[in-house]
Structure 1
Amino acid sequence: MRAWPALSPPSPPSAPWEACCSATTSALGVSGTFWLFAAVNLLAVLFTFRYMPETRGRTLEEIEQALDDGSFRSMR
């Protein structure tokens, strides 16, 4: 059976994310960070429902034509 390799430090692209999470957790606490995350996700869902157009039941050609015409509207 092969042993697992030792854990290495995070790669550079994840370092800013970890610094942001650490700062947020320090400022708001764990529960405050959770609620901030929940609020941002709620805003993302509301944005999606308000501004993203519905493509169900349309072919790619219909979608492309609507985008070319400028008649592609949001869901509501």
Structure 2
Amino acid sequence: MHPENELKLKTILSDLLERKADELKATSLLKEDLGVDSTEMVELCGALEKAFGIQIDDAVEKRLKTVGDLYSLLSAKA
């Protein structure tokens, strides 16, 4: 992932989840480690779609388990 996109992703995550960027590791589990609930997941995907100009369908959204999964998704689509 391009460093600029990684920074943009971390900024979105830290703003939405009210976490420091250094807490967001690639292995961090979205639900278990970061406390992302279903509403926040929808908000997160919407923010990523807007920021990166991509579409994230429901099937893909359900497979996103870690911050690393988000990196992979954005690397493939952005």
For normalisation by structure 1, the TM-score amounts to 0.25
Higher Rg:
1
